[in-house]
Amino acid sequence: MVEIELDGKKVEIAEGSMVMHAAEKAGTYIPHFCYHKKLTIAANCRMCLVDIEKAPKPMPACCTPVTQGMVVRTKSEKAIKAQKSVMEFLLINHPLDCPICDQGGECQLQDLAVGYGASASRYEEEKRVVLHKDVGPLISMEEMTRCIHCTRCIRFGQEVGGVMELGMIHRGEHSEITTVAGDTIDSELSGNMIDICPVGALTSKPFRYSARTWELSRRKSISPHDSTGANLIVQVKNHRVMRVLPFENEDVNECWIADRDRFSYEALTGPDRLERPMLKQGGEWREVDWQTALEYVANGLQDIDAEHGSASIGALVSPHSTLEELYLAGALVRGIGSGNIDYRLRNADFEPAPGVRWLGRSIASLSTLDAVLVVGSNVRKDHPLFAQRIRQAQRKGGVVSSVNSVQPDWAMPVANSLVACASEWLRALAEIAAAVARTNEVSAPVSDIEPSAVSSDIAKALLRGENKAILLGNAAAHHSQASKLLALCNWIGEQTGASVGYLTEAANTVGAQWVNALPDAGALHAGQMLSGALKGVLLLNTEPVWDSAAGAGAVGALAGADMVVTLSPFKTNMDFSDVLLPIAPFTETSGSFVNAEARLQSFHAVVRPLGETRPGWKVLRVLANLMEIPGFEFETSQDVLGQIAGAQSNAAALPSALLSNRSEALVSSDVSGVANEAPASAAIYQLDSLVRRSPSLQATRDGRAAVGEVQP
């Protein structure tokens, strides 16, 4: 540790730290633009000049290392004069168009100009003008004249996003930030460039000119998409979501969010929103009141129960639903007398698990991995925030390996890539296990397997280092041999000291397991229910055509049921549904999600429900009351959560005793797979009903690639 004096205060800081770090520790603010705690130091803007004793001139705090006994003054006349001089230079070419700038009210340049700017400029020559650029549907670069060349956006792309989509061309007065050869910005984390831009050069294209920042209310929430559980700030005006920003949580999402977390809000007020209950009568849809709709559903389910038995009724539920909705859906189905409920719509292997499948480690620890093997996942697209953490680990020397049907571009070096069709993944893992067994001089779980060169390299990587992980992706979880894949991964993990876990697909995949949104023993699983085995079907927040392995085949199977009830925020499943009940999306209801690391996070509604929309848990409660099912005396979603968690109602995570990635499957000597097997897996902007209805996300390269408009 090194001790320095900062504005008369003694500060201890680790050797090798910069003056800026010492100031942050001491709680002293030094004005800056180019410095960002998550990016490398560039020292471009010079706004952070400070007065250091015995230094001949002011020094930039962001790149000046601390030394023992250093005396730093951030508020001296010398420091203030230097900072004001830098501000004068920064404002020479700035258009000073704050009244029309989208960044007005939250602009660092604007704020610091008040404190360090002059009342008039000595510069009277012609100002520089930079032409606007069209870089895609998410980011606006219409006013690049405002750019102060801090290069935050460039460094973010290189260091966090993994793709250098922006760069600087020309020199001096003529320097400008642009894309390469007029390309668009297509990174799945690109929206974070908007947040870190200290001026109004990069702004949100969907949000542009829709509201002023001081008009917006700010409310906390949780992302309903992937299993990161990213913390959000939802900005609201007149009970309408106007913008979504990250809420900093170092343990979960740091200060970043994925683009689908940021821009999916457009779907909340889209043309597909369902605002009133609807019934299909004589092939025609008509709006009805809630009492009529719920009585129709209750009577219909009771009639099916009487005629065909309770085993003919089931629920297909989405893991993007809240914990409370999933619990009550299960309680409703079991209250009727059925055990048919399942969230695993994309799965092909329905073997019961001994515990709740989860990540197997903390999310934050992904940034410190020495070696990682990813099986069956395009991790960059499936889990963008997990990918950036693994990217951090790789930049620090971590070795990344993969087993996949193709090797997509993960925007990071993949040291060892074992490419095999999905039907050969079991054999590929058996080869890695054989290589590990040979090194450790133990018996391999599958005999007579000769490891390939790539398998041996993967084994060597997993045997080195201290912090190692084997991560199974969405495709591995949905694989027809998922249990055997896990069993082999567990064996490799035991022999190498690596943790084994699932990246988990959705916001509440872990939570769905916790509340037992799974079929009872002897009941029908999702695959059987989607094959037409039910007479009465409840679809909670799911669209089987998009969300299930059956795909378009689900239409015919569900159309044969006597009654299909869809609970959704959107007008969907209309080809085979008989009733549509409008339930609230995550912004209009309270609830909880459990992320991949088993962290329990609750949230409140940020806007009032649209039209006659009602929270899903309330709809399920009232439906159960109409059917006279006991145990549904809940007044709030917190009451439901208390019922789920019991004595652990205030817990921040699931009890560790419930978590287990063990597999009871036995791996035989036959590791051949099913020919032409292709596990169901959703594209990045096809994951759930919200992202599928966001115009901006669908206009991106990834969005268009999913529907075949461009090459992926």
Q: Is the pLDDT of residue 310 over 60?
A: yes
Quickly state the pLDDT bin for 665 (edges 50, 70, 90): confident
Instruction: Give CA–CA dist 153/294, Å, rounded.
Output: 52
Closest alpha carbon to 253 in 596, 21, 590, 685: 596
Max Cα distance, the chain (Å): 92
Helices (H), 519-610: 526-529, 544-547, 553-559
Q: Is residue 162 within 8 Å of residue 154, measured between CB atoms?
A: no
Q: What mean pLDDT do residues 62-85 have? A: 95
Residue 240 β-bridge partners: 237
Q: Is the pLDDT of residue 227 over 90?
A: yes
Q: Which pLDDT does position 674 carry in this prediction?
A: 60
| pLDDT tens per residue, range 407-437 | 889 999 999 999 999 999 999 999 999 999 9
What tokens appear for 469 in the block? 């992980």
Q: What mean pLDDT do residues 143-168 have? A: 94
| pLDDT tens per residue, range 512-547 | 999 999 999 999 999 999 999 999 999 999 999 999
Q: Is the pLDDT of residue 507 over 80?
A: yes
By CB neighbour count within 10 A (0-12 exposed, 13-18 middle, 19+ buried), where does 281 fall?
exposed
Q: Checking DSSP bridges between strand 499-502 and strand 579-582, what pairing results, if any?
A: unpaired
Q: Which pLDDT does position 675 carry in this prediction?
A: 55
Q: Is residue 374 within 8 Å of residue 401, measured between CB atoms?
A: yes
Tell the residue number behind the tokens 């001491």, with chain if given.
Answer: 26
Q: Is the pLDDT of residue 669 over 80?
A: no
Q: Is residue 95 within 8 Å of residue 127, measured between CB atoms?
A: yes
Q: Which pLDDT does position 124 carry in this prediction?
A: 83
Q: Is the pLDDT of residue 648 over 70?
A: no
Helices (H), 521-627: 526-529, 544-547, 553-559, 616-626
Q: Which pLDDT does position 673 carry in this prediction?
A: 61
Quickly state the pLDDT bin for 152 (edges 50, 70, 90): very high
Residue 286 β-bridge partners: 279
Q: Which pLDDT does position 660 carry in this prediction?
A: 95
| pLDDT tens per residue, range 233-250 | 999 999 999 999 999 999
CA dihedral 359, 361, 366, 369 (to 10 degrees): -120
In a 3-state reduction of DSSP, which class is residue 605? coil
| pLDDT tens per residue, range 109-137 | 999 999 898 888 888 888 889 999 999 99
Instruction: Give CA–CA dist 505/679, Å, rounded.
Output: 13
Q: Which pLDDT does position 127 carry in this prediction?
A: 87
Q: Which pLDDT does position 207 carry in this prediction?
A: 96
What tokens appear for 398 in the block? 């971590």
Helix (H) or strand (E) holding 100: none
What tokens appear for 48 in the block? 């952070």
Report the chain's mean pLDDT, rounded to a whole number: 94
What does each C-alpha distance from 190 to 184, 261, 504, 706 come to in angstroms?
Answer: 11, 12, 23, 19
Q: What mean pLDDT do residues 46-59 have? A: 95
Q: What is the 3-state secondary structure (H, E, C) of 637-691?
A: HHHHHHHHHHHHCCCCECCHHHECCCCCCCCCCCCCCCCCCCCCCCCCCCCCHHH
What tokens appear for 306 in the block? 């009487």
Q: How many Cβ atoms from other residues are within 10 Å of residue 125's Cβ? A: 7
Per-residue burial over 525-560, b if 16 or more Cβ lie within 10 Å, else e, is bbbbbbebbbbbbbbbbbbbbbbbbbeeebeebbee
Q: How many Cβ atoms from other residues are within 10 Å of residue 498's Cβ? A: 27
Q: What mean pLDDT do residues 496-512 have? A: 97
| pLDDT tens per residue, range 314-355 | 999 999 999 999 999 999 999 999 999 999 999 999 999 999
Q: Checking DSSP bridges between strand 71-73 and strand 2-6, what pairing results, if any?
A: parallel
Instruction: Give CA–CA dist 109/401, Å, rounded.
Output: 43
Share of the chain above pLDDT 90, in %: 89
Sheet holding 231-237, edge to edge: 217-222, 231-237, 240-246
- Of the candidate ranges 468-482, 578-592, 644-658, the one whose mean pLDDT is the lowest: 644-658
